[in-house]
Structure 1
Amino acid sequence: MPPLDLDALLCDRTASTGYHGRASEQCERRAGEFPCRFHIVVSNANNPTRVGRGDFFYGSIDCSLESSVLQLYDKDLGLTKPYSASVQINEDRLILGGRSFPFQVRRDTRARRMLLRVMPRDGAVVLVLPVRASLRSGQQFVTEHANWILARQDERPAVQVWQDGAVLPLYGAPHIIRHRPDARGGVWVEGQEIHVSGRSEHLPRRLRDWLKRRAREEFGAAARDMAVGLGVAVKRVTVRDTQSRWGSCSAHGNLSFSWRLMLAPAAVARYLVAHEVAHLKHMDHSIAFWRLCAQLLGGESELRAARTWLRRHGAALHLHG
């Protein structure tokens, strides 16, 4: 059986070549450089399977199925993945299989490919697009990954409400919240308990404000101590409740951190402080930057351990409060 003429398929995006052969038969053709806008797909019984994707496709294509069709799809014209859920995309809502979720589209100058994120706290779906990507291709990307999005939504754990008897991981260690309605003093720690005075409806806000205040003081002090040793200056430290990043550093020397780092082990919070302080010397993620991070933390092992913890457990920090 002669090899499939993929060059001919490239000339005609809607063309397809069918064949019938024994299971032992293979059809191979060495691919040169196919533009990344094309997807090569082997379909059998109407179940498409992606064979190659990326900047370029190299190698051979195994067409040993009893009855197969090789097709070339332009990503803006045809779907290359099956999906079962009905999809409706509005300006700020995404409806999948009758379920509605908040939806956002973000342009990122650093993004090289399209990304999807499901926010752990509210289930918001965020589509990250490179600057030159079309909105239409982004919508198709969401459609192709409808089943993936629903699976991530089903895996999302419940939010941990702050109330009397709930557990809060202060510095990564479990502390029981105790409501003290008749006491005065705001919020304080006794052993493995966090006591909160005032009315019950104000408990979450009081506890959140207390954590923000401590985060601003502690992260700010740690950042300035590190900066002195590097001969740089920290101008201002703020704390926020961001979902997409744990910290940031501006070109003017202003640092920002998520107050939720107060719920992580102290070594993890210290890593984030070191990360942003290192940006005062290197506004990139070069080898020199990571070496400086390790130096501020005391070694490569400390750096790796903190990054691993954050990658595995960071999303859970957004489930409190």
Structure 2
Amino acid sequence: MPVLPGSPPVEVHLKRSARARRFSLRVSRLDGKVTLSIPTRAREAEAMAFLRGQEGWLRQTLSAIPETAARTVGLGATLPVEGLPLLLAPGSGRGLRVENGQLLVPGDPALAGARVAAWLKVLARDRLASASARYAARVGRSYSSLALRDTRSRWGSCSPDGRLMYSWRLILAPPAVLDYVAAHEVAHLVELNHSPAYWRVVTGICPDWRQHRGWLHEHGSTLHRFRFQD
């Protein structure tokens, strides 16, 4: 991974693209990730020269992002799990476990972030499958499959053939918020739109949905700020 020297040095993710006709530099407002897209045949030396030419803009943009924007998950970090902050600490044995406000992570500390992410995805699938089945029973419908993604544009989706998709990062939010997203998507099994009829279905199975949707609007972006591995 290229690094722009300076104080501090800046890691740059180089992305070669057959569709790129010129160099393009982007900075994620969520986590500060720097991506430089370049044409497939461009040389890395040319990319670095372009990067140095944009250094002033790049550092100014990065400085405008709050320091709390990107949070690397590792031992010693605090991470919300089902809305409750847990301190990541060394553990023993094979599996991760929650104990006295801590998430105990055994094994190599360098792999803690990746192990936590894998554990969270299993927990997210369990919680979302349970909520989806519960709401599907209430509306008298069934879904065909359930998948987890790390999507930034949406928290969930429902396809015309009944396939449900959710962001696994919902497991970081309070349980009622995760439940609301499940209710929102399951309601699409009845009404595949956002018509008044659809919202009546949502209200029937999740009466306080406005409160939980408000939480996502206000705090949802923070769930994307946790980096679990480089």
Provide the TM-score with structure 2 as the length reference: 0.73
Aligned to 2:93: 184
Percent of residue pairs identical:
34
Aligned to 2:9: none
Q: C-alpha distance in 2, partners of 1:158/1:221?
A: 31
Q: Indicate conservation of the 8 Å contact 2:147/2:164, yes or no.
A: yes
Q: Which amino acid aligns with 1:161?
A: T
Alpha-carbon shift at residue 258 of structure 1 (Å): 0.7
Correspondence for 1:305 among 186, 199, 211: 211
Q: Which runs of 4+ in 1 moved over 6 A?
A: 150-153
Q: C-alpha distance in 2, partners of 1:265/1:236?
A: 24
Provide the TM-score with structure 1 as the length reference: 0.53
Q: Indicate conservation of the 8 Å contact 1:238/1:257, yes or no.
A: yes
1:92-150 deviation line (CA, Å, top 9, x unaligned): 854xxxxx316xxxxxxxxxxxxxxx55134579xxxxxxxxxxxxxxxxxxxxx9xx7
Q: C-alpha distance in 1, partners of 2:34/2:99?
A: 37
Aligned to 2:53: none
Aligned to 1:101: 26
Q: Which amino acid aligns with 1:101?
A: R
Aligned to 1:21: none
**Aligned pairs, number:** 184
Correspondence for 2:119 among 191, 200, 210: 210
Which structure has more relative contact order (CA 8 Å, sep 6+)? It is: 2
Alpha-carbon shift at residue 225 of structure 1 (Å): 1.3
**Unaligned ranges ≥5, structure 1:** 1-89, 95-99, 103-117, 126-146
Q: Which amino acid aligns with 2:209?
A: L
Q: Indicate conservation of the 8 Å contact 2:94/2:107, yes or no.
A: no
CA gap 1:153/1:222 in 2 versus in 1, 3 angstroms: farther
Q: C-alpha distance in 2, partners of 1:92/1:245?
A: 30
Report the aligned-residue RMSD: 2.3
Correspondence for 2:84 among 146, 152, 173: 173
Aligned to 1:286: 195
CA gap 1:316/1:252 in 2 versus in 1, 3 angstroms: same
Higher helix content, 1 or 2:
2
**Unaligned ranges ≥5, structure 2:** 1-19, 36-56
Aligned to 2:14: none
1:248-287 deviation line (CA, Å, top 9, x unaligned): 1111111111111011111111110001101111111111
